Amino acid sequence: MSLKVGVLASGAGSNLQALIDQVHGRDGIEIVAVGSDKPDAQALKRAGTAGIASRVFETSAFGDNRGARDLAMADWLSGLGVDLVVLAGYMQLVSPPFLEAFENRVINVHPALLPAFPGLDAVGQALAYGVKVFGVTIHFVDAGVDSGPIILQRAVELPGARTREQVFAVLHELEHQLLPEVVHMFGTGRVSIDEVDGRQVVITA
């Protein structure tokens, strides 16, 4: 089995790096594309170092038309044979035509235990609420905000955490375990969505 992965990232790209280090080139899994909305994203440099094709898709280059930008991005990824798209710190919503092009093949990593704290600044939201348990969710992307079927979650008790830095120090480590784990599951054909309710994600052993 082979799996070609495209990663979209806006920032530091530490999750991209975890994928490069842990799954790229193993068990038929290959990261073939890294796209970004930000020309200065460190993720692009990481792609270059790993010899992975990369491209910038700034909305301004498409007359501020998000749909047109996303279609160009989908064309580029399809042209490279991408089977699975991973949003790894990609700070844009992807529009419906993109999701149609990659139906049930776009996943995201979110730094909270969904459905709690979707959207921006999830960790800030959780801190403001005063939760004692934080966590990470890897989920399918649908047309809503962090609302797609959940693939994998892991929780961590941090009763004394008060700052984003304290929480992210732990959550980043969790993300860097979970995301490669999930991509490996896709690479070995173990992930499917229950056809009856369209909501339960089934992971086979």
Q: Provide the binding-site residues for ligand GRF, judged by CB under 6 A.
A: 9, 11-15, 88-89, 109-111, 175
Angle (nearest 5°) at CA 108 between 133 and 61: 135
Cα separation, 76 vs 16, in Å, equals: 19
110 a catalytic residue: yes
- Please say whether the beta carbons of 30 and 51 come within 8 A: no
The least CB distance from residue 183 to ligand GRF, in Å, is: 13
109, exposed or middle or buried, with CB in 10 Å at 0-12, 13-18, 19+? Answer: buried
The least CB distance from residue 36 to ligand GRF, in Å, is: 10
Closest CB to ligand GRF: residue number? 89
Q: Which is nearer to ligand GRF, 88 or 99 (CB)?
A: 88
Catalytic residue (one of 110, 139, 176, 184) = 110
Q: Which is nearer to ligand GRF, 110 or 139 (CB)?
A: 110
- Please say whether the beta carbons of 89 and 38 come within 8 A: no
Q: Which is nearer to ligand GRF, 87 or 201 (CB)?
A: 87
Q: What residues act catalytically?
A: 110
